[in-house]
Chain A
Amino acid sequence: MSDDRRGRPGSAGRATLSPNPPPMTDATPPREQWGSKFGLILAMAGNAVGLGNFLRFPRQAVDNGGGTFMIPYFIAFLLVGIPLMWIEWGVGRHGGLRGHGSTPGMFESLWKHPVAKYLGVLGLFMPIVVLIYYCYIESWTLAWTFFSATGATRGLDQAGMQAFFGSYVDLQDGTTHGFWVPFLFFLVTVSVNFWVVSRGLSAGIEKLAKIGMPILFVFALLLVVRVLTLDPVTITLADGTTTTQGPLDGLNFMYTPDWAALANPKVWLAATGQIFFTLSVGMGSLQAYASYLTRRDDIALSGIATAATNETAEVVLGGSLAIPAVVTFFGVAGATAIAGQGSFNLGFVSMPLVFNQLPGGAVAATLAGIMWFGLLFFAGITSSVSMATPALAFVEENFGWPRRRSALTLGVIVVLLGLLHIVYNTRGFLDEWDYWAGTFGLVILALVETILFVWVFGPDNMWRELHEGAAWRIPSFYKAVMTWVTPLFLLVMMVWWTVQEAIPTLLMKGVPAEHVPVKWASRGVMLAILAFELWLIRAAWAKKRRLAGAAREVA
């Protein structure tokens, strides 16, 4: 990266006005910086806007009563989502100014205790584990973009579409796809991801966001217009009666609250969980992106802009696509049943079925399919490149590896471990990683970083850190919210999930006997990754001590 791209003072529209402090060790290369303020926000929003905005959100909304879900959803956004966004930007910038691009160093800069860096392993472990299986799911979106373009799913009925999807995700089912097809798309997806990250922060990740995010929004907007202008359709229900439903019936379901259901804690926890996933907090990647900011960069308003962009993508676009479309062609009861079968069923089976029934024939179905899966691919890749960033920053800063070498090495690891997901997907290998790292782990990291940044670092220090270079003063009541309400929310959520889900999942309640060995193997691989990362942290700090000792001797 040239010096010009590192934020030369006085450059119009630059995010940075002064260079970061010198790196920690002689072996550490100079830290990169974002090319522009707008690019930074797009990259941050790209990190947050992911598959969950268009697949998980509608499914959660339908599963939890539609309109009933939306009220706790917005409350959780204000009390947990925005505060966590600020906390992660603050933790990241604070650590980045001290030469740390990943949570082990960031946590140590907040809490001068030997344990702090080991707690930071969560911010390396989670993004790597999620990245590996996320790339696999992302490769489905690339594959379905291709299938939509080539008309492979044209004319299939529900059973045919289900079989088409089943044959892709189950290697033993070769009825529709050769076993090599998922491997090919996975390899292409990982290659594109690591080609982007190998180009660096500004020339790779930021450029991808500047291209991918506008495409995503345009595709989503076009699809929303098409879905909301669909004519009502008369469908025959399972009991033989007919009903006429249109897209507005879907929106009506999404926005009609059942006030009595608000007393159900499950709805509140589901809404809080969705806010968590959609904003990509508790992952370690937002902190890594924020570590490339300087003390003159705003984080108060930028955090809001990122969160609000994500919410626009989720509520306005994500909420107006799958549910209104599926309700139009399957009715409210049908949409509820489809959502009950999972987000992937909604996205990869039901949506292509909807596209096949659009007025306009093959052309309309092909265009809608390309736009739907294309937007999912861009939503996925702008998130997955962020998940690679903490690990790359860690090895670059602590072991002096150049970006291309670290990207290539991590890419090979992702491919090798991703193969396990492809081979054992239908036997629960992926589910284990998704639960422990992609669900439960996020809450643990969020709780740990909130305690460290707010309580250990101190509320006053936290508040000052958030306002360094701020373009806007955060309302003062948020200091109390971040000190008490956010940690309490997280604690309640963690305890609830531990009792309701973590313990039964750990004990493999309801798991078929033939899946148990695969699930144990899945856990074993996760534990091996965790142990390796702990060892890397230990080795990195031992190296720092050696360098510091050598420097003292020279002095």
Chain B
Amino acid sequence: MTTGALVFMLAAWAFVLGLTTWAFRRLLRSEPSREHLPPPGSIP
């Protein structure tokens, strides 16, 4: 396996695995009631 292909593969894996880990960690620690909630009735 060439170095370029290895770097590309590791970057691709790091991107998807990092995104998944970040999203789940942040999601499971979130408190929806404290987050951005527009005023009631502001969406038609």
Contact = CB atoms under 8 A, between A and B. Distances in A.
Contacts of A41: 24, 27
Interface stretch (A176-184, A310-318, A340-348): A310-318
A299 to B, nearest CB: 11
Contacts, number: 99
A74 interface: yes
A464 B38 CA distance: 7
Give the interface SS of chain B, mostly helix, strand, loop or mixed: helix
Contacts of B6: 255
Contacts of A470: 35-36
A461 B20 contact: no
B8 to A, nearest CB: 4
Count chain B CB atoms within 10 A of each CB in A38, A67, A312 and give the residue with the most: A312
A302 B27 CA distance: 7
A305 B21 CA distance: 8
Contacts of A229: none
Contacts of A94: 43
Nearest to B34: A471
A254 B20 contact: no
Contacts of A255: 5-6, 8-9, 12
Contacts of B27: 37, 41, 298, 301-302, 305, 471
A468 B12 contact: no
Contacts of B1: 248-249, 251-252
A440 B4 CA distance: 36
B35 A469 contact: yes
B21 to A, nearest CB: 8
Contact of A74 (B9, B12, B24): B12
Nearest to A295: B37
A298 B16 contact: no
Contact of A464 (B2, B9, B33, B43): B43
A312 B17 contact: yes
Contacts of B13: 315-316
Given A304-B23, A308-B16, A316-B13, A256 B2 contact: yes
Interface of A: 17, 37-38, 41, 67, 70, 74, 94, 248-249, 251-252, 254-257, 295-298, 301-302, 304-305, 308-309, 311-312, 315-316, 457, 461, 464-465, 467-473
20 contacts: A17-B32, A67-B5, A251-B1, A255-B5, A255-B12, A256-B4, A256-B8, A296-B32, A297-B32, A298-B32, A301-B27, A304-B19, A308-B20, A315-B13, A316-B16, A316-B17, A464-B38, A465-B43, A468-B43, A471-B32
Closest 5 CB pairs of A and B: A471-B30, A305-B23, A308-B20, A308-B19, A255-B5
